[in-house]
Structure 1
């Protein structure tokens, strides 16, 4: 895997899992990533079991199965995460499916017990008729505290690099998110978004509108990007938001209310009007979702019973599966207010 700028949440590698040979490729990719992180041999062995079982389940029991294999980071630690996504029949009884030896034709139940025993952390959501999303993390030692935000990016069909990228940081008490959609597709689009991520991590603790201005100046030598920055201020009960271009931002209230956030027209690095910052109410337990135009806006978490209680990784993967388009790069970022 190509090296990425310091601080970038690694995009990882996607696999379409339809043939038995792909399951072996997933396992080898996970092992190589773990070895590159100098993970202990025992944990590499545990990860190998997780990867083989997760991919094998998709081959045997799922429809349109895909797996993302990527590095995950927390402070000075690094681990490997696998996110398995399918559009199969789903599970009627998740707890029963987790049990060893349980097998129901057309479900993803076989082997889940083995996967979860080796995992440092895991989460799963399944809806009959819609499919299953499984997130599994393997860390070299004790797992760090769960992250408050997570995202996924996926290149359009036929490309290896995604022009979408995201980043998360906590600086001087500020919890901030960036989502960028480089203009076009391929390597040049990816370079623009990676530059935005680099600038985001290097900038001082400034408000979202100021951050967008900083990134606009930095991207002048690239083809440019649509991007947005959000800051979650749980103490004040607001999310501050500023963006340029076609990035969708939504606040999902605990009572089911949904409110869109406004980005201004423009392309960071090339053309913009005045950058404006808006405040939106942010109640305890609210969820903030940001996504590029590689996802359609016609999604509703109410269609997925229990999904709002799952981790940001699983929420993001579910939205990517059902709202993502293969005709464009796709990026989604989810944050939860504690």
Structure 2
């Protein structure tokens, strides 16, 4: 995570994003400048850059003033037609009991993100918010150059090990010939070589033909033989069949979480994609429209309990993923979370 200004954004950081630990006013200014720079590089028109600047300033400023352990992610978001900027603010503050009142202009509660939420709502193309008293607040916002796309059915977040500039965890999403598939990857170790292994998994996943998850995973295994290897899992959400088809190698955890908070784990077999595999098998699991699929690396522990977060499972996949990353991610490892629901 960064605590200072970012003078430029290397191409590789546009979609991976930049994390900030927001504890002081200079860092809040750096967040705003980074968001503006990214917007310009993505070609957002000047009025939308100005709107983004307000959103970034309010989010970061409120973390400085009111949050505990506040962090903020700035990254690009894309569709086939356009690119925008996404901001995800995460804190462990006291939280907000009344979100409707907090969004109203002029509302302020010490220790919350209450100040400025009205401006964030007005200037954003899309936003989502969840807060639990005693646990903290997640606020995600996007600014697009034109009409925003439909809310995403899937979202993921990765965070590097403390002190590392890049994460060895990665995720990817694709919709090919009607197959809606997601991939979560944890490159062995940390740093650049782990990131290289995960980046190769992402490339191979995006280039794979429209085949079931087990066949996709086999292709990834063969493509990653020149890397140090990774734990990888691929899931396919089939709305017509009401199924999740899942294949995994290594310690990627996959879970189907029902609307009542009950969980069903999905099976990943022992192995290292790129180096060791005894077999690749695919398993089917039932899923309902109100359930979510959660996938994460071993940098996220399983102590997270959905019942401790009233109303969370109806929020966006991005807010769910951010909550899990905050409360179940560990600092001694790269951490990656992906959340999807039937589109």
1:41 matches 2:46: yes
Work out which of the residue numbers 129, 133, 136 in structure 1 matches 2:141: 136
Alignment of 1:18-37 (within 5 A): 18-37=23-42
- Which residue number in structure 1 is paired with residue 20 of structure 2? 15
Residue 308 (structure 2) aligned to one of 292, 299, 303: 303
Equivalent runs, 1:313-332 vs 2, <5 Å:
313-332=318-337
**Aligned pair 1:179/2:184, yes or no?**
yes
Matches within 5 A, 1:107-256: 107-256=112-261
| Residue 2 (str. 1) matches residue 7 (str. 2) | no
Work out the CA distance in 2 between the residues paired with 1:107 and 1:71.
26
Secondary structure of the 1:243 match is strand
Normalising to structure 2: TM-score of the pair?
0.96
Q: What are the superposed Cα offsets for residues 38-90 of structure 1, whole Å, 9 maximum, x if unpaired?
A: 11011001000000010000000000000000000112211000000000000
How many residues get paired?
A: 335
Cα distance in 1, alignment partners of residues 340 and 81 from structure 2: 21
* Aligned equivalent of 1:69: 74
- SS in structure 1 opposite 2:225? helix
Cα distance in 2 between the residues matched to 1:255 and 1:205: 33
Aligned counterparts of 1:239 and 1:4: Cα–Cα separation in 2: 31
Distance 1:61 1:292 in 2: 31
SS at match of 1:46: helix
Q: Deviations over 1:170-206 (max 9, x none)?
A: 1111110000000100011001101100111111101
Cα distance in 1 between the residues matched to 2:119 and 2:308: 30
Question: Residue 294 of structure 1 corresponds to which residue in structure 2?
Answer: 299
1:285 is matched with which residue?
A: 290
Matched, 1:59 2:67: no
Tell me the CA shift for residue 219 of structure 1.
0.4
Distance 2:20 2:332 in 1: 17
C-alpha distance after superposition, 1:262-306 (max 9, x if no partner): 001010001111101100111122100000000001111111000
Deviations 1:137-163 (A, max 9, x none): 000011011111000000010001000
Deviations 1:246-272 (A, max 9, x none): 000000123432100000101000111
Runs of 5+ in structure 2 lacking a partner?
A: 1-8
Supply the distance in 1 between the matched residues of 2:341 and 2:229 (Cα, whole angstroms).
Answer: 29
TM-score normalised to the size of structure 1? 0.97
CA distance in 1, matches of 2:10, 2:306: 35
Shift of 1:237: 1.1
C-alpha separation between the residues in 1 aligned to 2:89 and 2:12?
23
SS of the equivalent of 2:26 reads helix
Report the Cα distance in structure 2 between the residues aligned to 1:256 and 1:313, rounded to whole angstroms.
18
Equivalence for 1:274:
279
How far off its partner does 1:213 sit? 0.4
Unaligned 5+ segments in structure 1 are none
Separation in 1 of the partners of 2:42 and 2:16?
A: 16
Aligned alpha-carbon RMSD (Å): 1.1
Quick one: distance in 2 between partners of 1:170 and 1:130? 35
